[in-house]
Amino acid sequence: MKALTRGVSPEVAQCELTHLEREPIDFGRASREHGAYVEVLRSLVDEVIEVPGDARFPDCVFVEDTAVVLDDLAIITRPGAESRRGEVEAIAEALAPLRPLMQIEAPGTLDGGDVLVCDRTVYIGLTSRTNEAGIEQFRAFARGYDVRAVPVHGALHLKTAITRIAHGTLLVNRDWIDVAPFAGWKLVDVDPSEPFGANALLVGDVLIYPREFPRTRAKIAGDVRLVPAGELAKAEGGVTCSAILIR
């Protein structure tokens, strides 16, 4: 397995925000957090491909939104925020040696943070960043996958509300999604005091999880590696956002 990451932009404080009030973001602290996260990734995968940050793109560290890598292809997205659409060029270049590439085109929009791949089932959030046209294009590209649209309310992305934490288990904030599409999965609820605690990154059998959510962490079984994620959380980022896993 490989992981693709991108450095923090020196302009990260000018990031897009949808559900949070803007507050100062310390570039140095955000970079140190990201470095610690990359080191944990490096211990779990065969290779970390690092793309430099870019001052033109304040949100570029959230590389997950620019592509979705499946077993046999990579789908380059068309981010819902216009300011982010230029980010995809560098990521497409990095992925081109590894997978055939397909591209979401207008009028479709799709953020990778809305795409939860669970084996051959793909759940895609209908949000302010991902529309039905984008989901239909994804479905056409991802032949052999069962692609299901999931409305999201009150959260930026689907994976703000639900992520996979073990083979048959999902971590969820039920306030932001209807869990009916996830019938058959074991569901672990975030602690009510930690609404943003549903975002986790499963790498093999190991879970990367923010140290800022100890009450939810206490509900999670298995091998969990804690990372600092508070500074990038001010930019509406989570631990899935900062990596693309390439299996």
Task: Give pLDDT tens digits for 183-241.
Answer: 999 999 999 999 999 999 999 999 999 999 999 999 999 999 999 999 999 999 899 99
Question: Kind and range of the H or E element at 205?
Answer: none
Q: What pLDDT, in 10s, does the model give residues 45-97?
A: 999 999 999 999 999 999 999 999 999 999 999 999 999 999 999 999 999 99
Whether 95 contacts 69, CB under 8 Å: yes
Q: Binning pLDDT at 50, 70 and 90, where does residue 20 land?
A: confident
- Clarify whether 153 is annotated catalytic: no
Q: What pLDDT, in 10s, does the model give residues 167-180?
A: 999 999 999 999 99
What is the average per-residue pLDDT within 137-156? 96
Q: Which of 12-21, 94-103, 155-164 has the lowest mean pLDDT?
A: 12-21
Residue 140 has pLDDT above 90, yes or no: yes
- Lookup: tokens for 219: 């509900």
DSSP-H helix ranges across the chain: 27-44, 88-95, 132-141, 158-161, 214-217, 230-233
The predicted model scores a pTM of 0.95
pLDDT at 25 (0 to 100): 96
Give the residues across from 149 on adjacent strands. Answer: 124
Amino acid (1-letter code) at residue 113 = G
Within 10 angstroms of residue 17's Cβ, the number of other Cβ atoms is 15
- Clarify whether 241 is annotated catalytic: yes
> Per the residue annotation, which of 15, 34, 60, 241 is the catalytic one?
241
- Lookup: tokens for 45: 């995968």
> Per the residue annotation, which of 15, 34, 60, 157 is the catalytic one?
157
Residue 86 CB-density burial (10 A; 0-12 exposed, 13-18 middle, 19+ buried): middle
| Residue 188 main-chain phi, psi, to 5 deg | -110, 125
pLDDT at 174 (0 to 100): 98
CA distance 198 to 111: 18
